[in-house]
Structure 1
């Protein structure tokens, strides 16, 4: 979110080249069915910031895909059972020149997170866990746990809402919430180093809505709040910013179906 999303968008464009518009029949016959698109997000300028910015962001969801050695995974219309799915996230560059609270701290390059999620749904409730590996900006791992209550007021509308908890590895935590001795010496705000260890860093709530405009076009909206806790919440960087992190966004996706094997 913030500067360039070229790594994620390039992957989306590659998939677009392979795919074709999905129909009710192709959803059932093709190995992969992806909803690809984009939107606008309001979010903190960086983890722990009290400033809000508006940024573009990609929307990528796999409702049907084939895992070699495992078989076909179909989340579409599946209201009971286990689902495995890909998980992605993007963290934009943290530039010390953008905020007074970052003066003297090192810049953190953009990071792409890629991993896997597992969810179990039973009718109107769904629990999930996601684990992702960070690349470029940091090289650690993050995880998110959550529970969603699911409602479908109409055939075209689905609502989800529930609690969230986030965890970060040592490298992730120290990259975004730690302060080195050199940074403390260079900063006018921070007079001591700070080490952020691995652990849970957020608890919060999130809600989303998806509305089928047509067979292939879908409108999405999301809103959420995270409270930074543990070593993240106690970081001097966060205390100069805010422990409360709010975000909201909206966007459109288009459905594509294709085969690779």
Structure 2
């Protein structure tokens, strides 16, 4: 039986609450300053998988003094430490990476399992809210993280952009895009095939090098059904590129297109 793991991709189920997909930069804090909620979603079992799983994740965003805030989205926690009137945000982050264990695919199951790991790093972002004419909220940012504990390895950098537009006082639509660069150690761990792993699985050997591993895009909808409650839905599409897409794990057993779908409910204050 598949070991159902709640991965960061299930934040697609929380995007309606948190304003962030897998820390992808989607922000609606001008609309929802404080919340706690639960999202449910469907995603792939591992990076590049064709097999799917379902799960649920909590999320919260708490406004602190001034423009500071703390965010918790499943395995991700971020803290904005800047007190800035020009839209700048920056601070530390922690992210639990849940790896590749107990998969359904019989060939991939012969590859070395990847267990839990902790990544630490930081982010910097800038947002602009236009309140006249056609209102919108634009956000641009960059996240960086590095493995510090457990089985995860390497460094990742993610530039991102997002845009939210209100259709009414109750209904909001948004979209965003970004890309992720990963170091050689991360790429080899998730997409490489060592000679020993090739002999065990039957896949050809493959050395994965550093580079961009994915580009992504998401659409989202928020519906404020009550002054204290919000519903929403969204999707998160990833397209593997570079050595991630060229890996025999993906070419022979997976799919370079990865999709997450989610729904969520949040309590606001």
* Same fold flag (TM > 0.5): yes
1:104/1:184 contact within 8 Å kept? no
Matched, 1:196 2:208: yes
- Aligned positions, number: 223
For residues 172 and 166 of structure 2, the distance between their equivalents in structure 1, rounded to whole angstroms, comes to: 5
> How far has the Cα of 1:96 moved from its partner?
5.4
1:114/1:132 contact within 8 Å kept? yes
For residues 118 and 57 of structure 1, the distance between their equivalents in structure 2, rounded to whole angstroms, comes to: 25
Q: Which runs of 5+ in 2 are unaligned?
A: 8-28, 71-78, 131-135
For residues 34 and 4 of structure 1, the distance between their equivalents in structure 2, rounded to whole angstroms, comes to: 23
For residues 91 and 232 of structure 2, the distance between their equivalents in structure 1, rounded to whole angstroms, comes to: 19
Aligned to 1:119: 125
Aligned to 1:12: none
> How far has the Cα of 1:150 moved from its partner?
1.7
RMSD: 3.1
SS at match of 2:110: coil
For residues 82 and 99 of structure 2, the distance between their equivalents in structure 1, rounded to whole angstroms, comes to: 37
Instruction: Provide, for residues 107-142 of structure 1, a one-character-per-residue CA deviation record: whole Å limited to 9, x for no partner.
Output: 111334444332222333322222223442313222
For residues 236 and 255 of structure 1, the distance between their equivalents in structure 2, rounded to whole angstroms, comes to: 46
SS at match of 1:206: strand
For residues 80 and 87 of structure 2, the distance between their equivalents in structure 1, rounded to whole angstroms, comes to: 19
Which of structures 1 and 2 has the bigger CA Rg? 1
Give the counterpart of 1:186 among 176, 186, 200.
200
2:230/2:266 contact within 8 Å kept? yes
Give the counterpart of 1:156 among 146, 166, 170.
170
2:80/2:90 contact within 8 Å kept? no
Q: Which runs of 5+ in 1 are unaligned?
A: 6-26, 28-32, 257-261
Instruction: Provide, for residues 132-179 of structure 1, a one-character-per-residue CA deviation record: whole Å limited to 9, x for no partner.
Output: 234423132222222222201122333220222111122221111111
For residues 59 and 80 of structure 2, the distance between their equivalents in structure 1, rounded to whole angstroms, comes to: 27
Aligned to 2:266: 253
Instruction: Provide, for residues 190-229 of structure 1, a one-character-per-residue CA deviation record: whole Å limited to 9, x for no partner.
Output: 132x221221110121122333344443334221211100
Give the counterpart of 1:211 among 197, 214, 223.
223
2:94/2:121 contact within 8 Å kept? yes
For residues 122 and 267 of structure 2, the distance between their equivalents in structure 1, rounded to whole angstroms, comes to: 22
For residues 204 and 116 of structure 1, the distance between their equivalents in structure 2, rounded to whole angstroms, comes to: 20
Aligned CA distance change for structure 1 residues 69 and 253 (closer, same or farther; 3 Å): closer
Aligned to 2:37: 37
2:97/2:118 contact within 8 Å kept? yes
Aligned to 1:109: 115
